[in-house]
Amino acid sequence: MAASRFPYVPDGVAADVEGEPLAIHPDLLALGGLWNEVRGDRCMPARRDFTPERLRPWLGNLALIDVSEDPLRLHYRLVGTNIVESLKFDPTGKDFEEFVVDPLHNPLTRGLYRCLFEAQPVFEVVRPKYNRYFSFDYNRLSLPLSADGRAVSMILMGEYVLSRSQPPLSVDRREHATKIWF
């Protein structure tokens, strides 16, 4: 697989499928730049390439997700405090199947699986509708890590809340996520 560079978006703005401008958190652009710098000419870096000191600017907004095979499972090894605060629970130490229905096809976790299967960075802008009283938009950058240089063994995920809003009382159930992939 040829190594591709983390794509940057001019002026930190991208458009979703409806053409609405969507902000990209600048810290995620910097995290993607660090991932590129650390991996060099390899397809993806290893977990051991990232020290806590190197990741300090992002620590509260990072999660480390272990990948296990046979059966395929994603497992939260570590979840930053800002992510826990946004989720309103701590998924540290849990498999995705414990709290996400059909994680492989769920709109809120599909980007992580895409990162795993394609061994490429995946950026998302997501607008989940948890219930009729609370929602928020967030940016997520999923970065593949490899212990052997070939297969993804871990995902380094950065996540930033962009806004907190009170959704209208009539929530369109079909519009549960807005995404952008690049």
Q: Is residue 109 part of a domain?
A: yes
DSSP letters spanning 88-129: TS--TT-BGGGTSSSTTT-TTTHHHHHHHHHTS-EEEEE--E
Residue 96's CATH number: 3.30.450.20
What's this model's pTM, rounded to 2 decimal places?
0.77
Q: pLDDT tens-digit profile of 55-76?
A: 999 999 999 999 998 888 899 9
Tell me which residue of 174, 156, 160 sits closest to 83, measured CA to CA.
160
Q: Write down the pLDDT at residue 35.
A: 95
DSSP annotation of 133: T
DSSP alpha helices (H): ranges in 8-162? 26-39, 52-55, 81-87, 110-118
* Structural domain includes residue 84: yes
The total number of structural domains in the chain stands at: 1
Strands 122-126, 134-145: pairing is: antiparallel
Residue 30 resides in a domain: yes
Strand, coil or helix: what is 37?
helix
The per-residue pLDDT for range 122-144, each reduced to its tens digit, is 888 776 655 454 556 778 999 99
Residue 179 lies in a domain: no
